[in-house]
């Protein structure tokens, strides 16, 4: 048993050895919370807890897999196989596979134990079907936006009926009808979506006391990781399993250990509610608060900066991270004049670092929005710095960028049938696969391009007037664009083209986070064209057709990238907080955001706290003046000794 406690500090030991009762473990970044959770499970087993009585909930499959492996190393596979370790969705799925037939909705819908789980694409297809059944225009009610609304409602414990009762306007009322039809279609298919796994499992426990008491009796020790990222469904599920409908006095021979940190909560946009953690001690008044404040990864300079920044957030639980790894390097803050200067500074800094003791694999660039990667990628290509995207797609490989490039290629060369097929129905023009197949058959038979066939579409009797009209409009669009190119600079031409084809309108109507990110990428694409215009020989082009030819050649190089060595020798470009590892030696954090709101400032502080979890040296680069000044002001007492601030 003593082996279990070896290497744990006093706070970690307290979290591991408290056998019964409710605990809130406030785990600072890099404080060894995963080790605490696994050692606690081992300690429970060593002190008589049956493996089958233990439930450990994580937020990702990767975290669950890592926890299982650590437990196997500690306890052996034979013991661990009886411990329930998994994500919320995994745990709920196991419960529902056995007991879903004991649940039915207020209007009588029910499912069977052989239910299927619909992924995002399956779910979206069903939303589209529901829209058709409700006779609603999918342009007025974009399917992805409706899907997102339904998902958010379910995360807040609202089914279609409950959502309908809170509908206060015409649009919400229509969405509630789609929601109800969508739920009916799921039931007809004996299917659940991902959000249903949580919602229905929680409702099952609330409506079937037999099921609740079975799992309440089984799981005497519950552990939850990343508690700051729970939503209402997840919290009610855990509360039901732990309390079992009983009062606080019934918790003597069981335990609930939740581990989290409000300072690391950055997922409110997908339904996470950090106030659940803040209010935990009000819901469970006997809960013991344990703070894990020793960081095992970062140096003092990084942690002191992180502490001084995060203390300015309004709603949080006080703690003070510290390290025993020494002062470490100072943090460097460089203020660039624009994104290109910033990108080249990053490239130069990495080139200098890798000329010394670091390799490319030791370097990471973290950026906040997808559109920001473009300038950095181009700077890397210009310096022949190998890189790989982690948790994202390279800028010039993103769908919307490839769509726009296809438009440019078709305008430049109308015989490019591959580009035409990519964008003939983008945005949607009611030109479907059947029509395209007919066009291809004619083109092959006559040995001409698809565009040539479409130009003469009225000559072919096999196409109806309903089909001919959008095809003629498409030809007019391309021909008008060719005329515009004769008289417009490249960036102005691309902006006009995007407006003419209605690409942004469709994304704005969709209204999702993904759509907003794609809009930012398109705006960045226009900026890239503007930068290309600034090259010295642009003004020497006799007309803009020569300019677009050179630009397309430049895009070809960027689309195809440059040949690199294996990934181990590449700089990593990251826009996901889940992609870090403890071996990374340096980070350049690119935090640019033009939305100057208090909420964004607080998220920026939380990102810095998360960064302190992984690195002993990183560089902050800021372009948003108001946001930068607020963060720098947080550190005004630290600048001389903790922060080297450089300005050009």
CATH code of 180's domain: 1.10.10.160
- Predicted local distance difference test score (pLDDT) of residue 166: 84
Q: Is residue 280 domain-shared with residue 311, that is, in the same domain? A: no
Distances (CA, A) of 550 to 412, 492, 531, 533, 547: 11, 17, 13, 11, 5
Q: Is residue 7 domain-shared with residue 91, that is, in the same domain? A: yes
Question: What is d(CA 398, CA 493) in angstroms, rounded to the nearest whole number?
Answer: 21
583 lies in some domain? yes
429 lies in some domain? yes
Q: Give the bridge partners for 571, in sequence order.
A: 387
Question: What is d(CA 600, CA 578) in angstroms, rounded to the nearest whole number?
Answer: 20
CATH code of 413's domain: 1.10.486.10
pLDDT tens digits, residue range 92-104?
999 999 999 999 8
109 lies in some domain? no
Mean pLDDT (the chain) is 80
Domain boundary among 243, 267, 294: 294
pLDDT winner (highest mean) among 159-168, 553-562, 572-581, 590-599: 159-168
Q: Is residue 388 domain-shared with residue 401, that is, in the same domain? A: no
Domain encompassing residue 587: 301-392+565-647
Domain boundary among 248, 275, 294: 294
Nearest 10 degrees: CA dihedral of 169, 170, 175, 181? 120
Nearest 10 degrees: CA dihedral of 246, 197, 199, 101? -70
Question: What is d(CA 291, CA 5) in angstroms, rounded to the nearest whole number?
Answer: 17
Q: Is residue 169 domain-shared with residue 56, that is, in the same domain? A: no
> What tokens appear for 309 in the block?
């920044």
**600 or 109, greater pLDDT:** 109
107 lies in some domain? no
Q: Is residue 328 domain-shared with residue 415, that is, in the same domain? A: no
Q: Is residue 59 domain-shared with residue 154, that is, in the same domain? A: no
Residue 612 reports pLDDT greater than 70? no
**562 or 394, greater pLDDT:** 394
3-state secondary structure of 208: coil
pLDDT tens digits, residue range 198-233?
999 999 999 999 999 999 999 999 999 998 888 888
Distances (CA, A) of 489 to 375, 548, 556, 619, 639: 21, 10, 20, 37, 45
Range with the lowest mean pLDDT among 2-16, 31-45, 356-370, 477-491? 356-370
30 lies in some domain? yes
3-state secondary structure of 6: coil
Residue 15 reports pLDDT greater than 70? yes
Domain boundary among 137, 167, 189: 189
Residue 323 reports pLDDT greater than 80? yes
pLDDT > 70 fraction of the chain, expressed in percent and rounded: 80
Q: How many domains does the chain have?
A: 4
Q: Is residue 481 domain-shared with residue 613, that is, in the same domain? A: no
Question: What is d(CA 541, CA 172) in angstroms, rounded to the nearest whole number?
Answer: 54
Q: Give the bridge partners for 586, in sequence order.
A: 363
pLDDT tens digits, residue range 223-276?
999 988 888 889 999 999 999 877 655 567 899 999 988 777 777 766 778 888
Q: Is residue 136 domain-shared with residue 230, that is, in the same domain? A: no
Model pTM?
0.67
Q: Is residue 438 domain-shared with residue 415, that is, in the same domain? A: yes
Torsion 432-433-438-441 (CA) sign: positive
Residue closest to 146 by CA, chosen among 128, 134, 173, 160: 128
547 lies in some domain? yes
pLDDT tens digits, residue range 495-520?
999 999 999 988 888 878 788 888 98
> What tokens appear for 621 in the block?
């680069």
- Predicted local distance difference test score (pLDDT) of residue 217: 93
Cα 88 vs. chain centroid, distance in angstroms? Answer: 18
Q: How confident is the model at residue 643 (pLDDT cuts 50, 70, 90)?
A: very low
Q: What is the mean pLDDT of residues 171-191?
A: 91
Q: Is residue 89 domain-shared with residue 128, that is, in the same domain? A: no
103 lies in some domain? no
378 lies in some domain? yes
Cβ 31 vs Cβ 16: under 8 Å: no
Q: Is residue 332 domain-shared with residue 408, that is, in the same domain? A: no
pLDDT > 90 fraction of the chain, expressed in percent and rounded: 33
Q: Is residue 439 domain-shared with residue 464, that is, in the same domain? A: yes
Q: Which residues of 487-517 are buried (b: 16+ CB within 10 A; e: fewer)?
A: ebebbbbbbebbeebebbebbebbebeebeb
pLDDT tens digits, residue range 329-362?
777 778 888 888 888 888 988 888 888 778 888 8
Question: What is d(CA 386, CA 22) in angstroms, rounded to the nearest whole number?
Answer: 50
> What tokens appear for 618 in the block?
């990183």
């Amino acid at each position: 048993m003593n082996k279990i406690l070896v290497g744990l500090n006093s706070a970690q030991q307290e979290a591991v050895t408290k056998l019964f009762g409710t605990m809130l473990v406030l785990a600072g970044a890099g404080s060894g919370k995963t080790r605490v959770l696994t050692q606690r499970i081992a300690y429970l087993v060593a002190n008589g807890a049956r493996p089958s009585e233990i439930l450990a909930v994580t937020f990702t499959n990767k975290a669950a897999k890592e926890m299982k492996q650590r437990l196997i190393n500690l306890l052996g596979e034979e013991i661990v196989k009886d411990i329930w370790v998994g994500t919320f969705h995994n745990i709920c799925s196991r419960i529902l596979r056995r007991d879903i037939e004991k649940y039915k909705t207020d209007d009588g819908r029910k499912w069977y134990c052989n239910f299927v789980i619909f992924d995002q694409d399956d779910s979206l297809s069903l939303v589209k079907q529901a829209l058709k059944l409700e006779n609603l225009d999918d342009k007025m009610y974009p399917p992805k936006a409706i899907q997102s609304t339904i998902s958010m409602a379910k995360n807040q414990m609202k089914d279609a009926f409950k959502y309908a009762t809170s509908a206060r306007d015409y649009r919400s009322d229509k969405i509630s009808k789609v929601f109800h039809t969508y739920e009916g279609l799921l039931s007809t298919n004996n299917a659940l979506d991902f959000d249903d796994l949580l919602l229905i499992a929680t409702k099952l426990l609330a409506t079937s006391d037999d099921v609740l008491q079975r799992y309440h009796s089984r799981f005497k020790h519950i552990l939850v990781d990343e508690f700051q990222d729970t939503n209402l469904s997840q919290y009610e599920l855990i509360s039901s399993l732990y309390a079992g409908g009983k009062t606080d006095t019934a918790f003597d021979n069981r335990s609930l250990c939740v581990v989290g940190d409000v300072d690391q909560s950055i997922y409110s946009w997908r339904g996470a509610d950090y106030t659940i953690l803040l209010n935990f001690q009000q819901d469970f008044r006997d809960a013991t608060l344990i703070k894990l404040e020793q960081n095992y990864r970062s140096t003092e300079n990084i942690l002191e900066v992180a502490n001084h920044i995060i203390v300015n957030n309004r709603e949080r639980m006080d703690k003070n991270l510290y390290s025993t790894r020494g002062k470490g390097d100072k943090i460097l803050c460089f203020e660039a004049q624009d994104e290109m200067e910033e990108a080249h500074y990053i490239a130069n800094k990495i080139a200098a670092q890798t000329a010394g003791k670091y390799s490319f694999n030791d370097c990471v660039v973290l950026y906040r929005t997808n559109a920001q990667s473009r300038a950095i990628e181009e700077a890397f290509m210009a310096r022949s710095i190998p890189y790989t995207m982690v948790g994202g797609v390279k800028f010039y490989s993103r769908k919307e960028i490839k769509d726009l490039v296809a438009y440019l290629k078709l305008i430049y060369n109308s015989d490019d049938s591959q580009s035409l097929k990519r964008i003939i129905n983008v945005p949607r023009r009611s030109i479907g696969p059947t029509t395209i197949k007919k066009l291809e058959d004619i083109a092959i038979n006559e040995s001409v391009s698809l565009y040539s066939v479409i130009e003469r579409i009225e000559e072919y009797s096999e196409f109806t007037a309903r089909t001919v009209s959008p095809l003629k409009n498409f030809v007019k669009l391309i021909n008008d664009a060719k005329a515009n190119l004769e008289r417009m600079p490249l960036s102005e031409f691309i902006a006009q083209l995007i407006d003419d084809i209605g690409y942004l309108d469709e994304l704005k109507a969709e209204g999702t986070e993904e759509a907003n990110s794609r809009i930012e990428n398109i705006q960045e694409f226009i900026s890239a064209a503007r930068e290309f215009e600034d090259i010295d020989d642009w003004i020497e082009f006799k007309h803009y057709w020569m300019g677009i030819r050179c630009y397309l050649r430049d895009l070809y190089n960027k689309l195809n990238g440059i040949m690199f060595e294996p990934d181990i020798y590449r700089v990593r470009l990251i826009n996901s907080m889940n992609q870090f590892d403890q071996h990374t030696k340096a980070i350049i954090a690119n935090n640019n955001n033009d939305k100057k709101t208090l909420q964004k400032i607080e998220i920026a502080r939380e990102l810095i706290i998360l960064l302190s979890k992984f690195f002993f040296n990183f560089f902050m680069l800021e372009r948003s003046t108001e946001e930068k000044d607020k963060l720098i002001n947080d550190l005004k007492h630290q600048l001389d000794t903790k922060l080297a601030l450089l300005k050009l």
